[in-house]
Amino acid sequence: LQVTVLGTPAEEQGGGKIDLIKAGAFDGLDVVLMAHPSQENAAYLPDVAEHDVTVKYYGKASHAAAYPWEGVNALDAAVLAYNNLSVLRQQMKPTWRVHGVIKNGGVKPNIIPSYTELEFYLRAPSMKDLSVLTEKVENCFKSAALATGCKVEIKGGENDYYNVLPNKSLQKVYKENGKKLGIEFISEDCILNGLSGSTDFGNVTFVVPGLHAYFYIGSDALNHTEEYTEAAGSEAAQFYTLRTAKALAMTALDVIFKPSLLEEVREDFRLVKLKEEGQINPV
């Protein structure tokens, strides 16, 4: 028996855990466990699949007052693309997310912009849904180029993040251990009716059974805010973090010393992957 403590990068900036998968860091492991700070305690939240896209429009510079007809306005293309996406939202599923920024919008007001750049994140509950959303969004980008006469370059991120696959056996044992330590978990209704972010741990759950728990740190501040950063480094947060680490350790011990549990975990993993791949109907 062997327990591996594997330091992995956060999900931001390209997906370091995906690089670790490719490097074989998860080969030979039976189960992987981790936890992420949040506003509540949950053994699972529906982290969704995510695709990054960078869009570059190339036009032609010209004096905006003297001879604008000589120019090809790349900013017009960027604005049209943004508006196209706003129109698309009426036909988007409630569980889809599209959000982004215009990173480069030109240089000077009297120069027709010859170059603009946008960066967008696309999210959906499954990889299948994500591919459908991606096609629709890319058509919005392409049509903006066509309407303005610009050339467009659409480049996806190096790695897509997969949705986190649930493992009910691991979740059940983790919750039992957490409750023994005084952890109060949110209800199943809250889990089913809520959406979370995206993580490269989702990719890990496609190659080995995994648990991606969330834990309260003693603050109601929202993640990715200055207030949450301060709360995460506070002395009060250490109690909640250590308690969660203990619950994870207890869960790992259960997997190690209960062969029947490991078999249940493996069977859950097999079935949820089949469902994800569309080979069986959801129960």
Closest Cα to residue 270, out of 184, 168, 202? 168
| CB contact at 8 A, 99 and 121 | yes
Confidence of residue 196 (pLDDT cuts 50, 70, 90): confident
Confidence of residue 283 (pLDDT cuts 50, 70, 90): very low
Residues 204-237 as b or e (16 or more Cβ within 10 Å = b) = bbbebbbbbbbbbbebebebeeeebeebbeeeeb
Query: In this structure, what are the phi and psi dihedrals at residue 106, rounded to the nearest 5 degrees?
Result: 125, -175
More confident residue, 197 or 272: 272
At 153-164, the pLDDT tens digits run 999 988 999 999
Domains, in order of start, for the chain: 16-47+162-277 (3.40.630.10), 49-156 (3.30.70.360)
Query: How far does Cα 137 stand from its chain's mean position?
Result: 17
Across the range 221-241, mean pLDDT stands at 92
| Residue 89: predicted pLDDT | 96
Across the range 185-201, mean pLDDT stands at 80
Confidence of residue 279 (pLDDT cuts 50, 70, 90): low
User: How far is CA 103 from each of CA 49, 55, 62, 79, 224, rounded to the nearest angstrom?
Assistant: 23, 10, 21, 12, 20
Residue 127 falls in which region: left (phi positive, over 0), alpha (psi -120 to 50) or beta: alpha
Across the range 157-180, mean pLDDT stands at 95
pLDDT at 281 over 80: no
pLDDT at 152 over 70: yes
Q: How many CB atoms lie within 10 A of CB 117?
A: 16
Please tell me the distance from the alpha carbon of residue 41 to that of residue 213, in angstroms, as a whole number. 8
pLDDT at 262 over 90: yes
Strands 210-216 and 32-38: parallel
Please tell me the distance from the alpha carbon of residue 250 to that of residue 177, in angstroms, as a whole number. 7
| Residue 113: predicted pLDDT | 97
| Residue 11: predicted pLDDT | 76
At 64-108, the pLDDT tens digits run 999 999 999 999 999 999 999 999 999 999 999 999 999 999 999
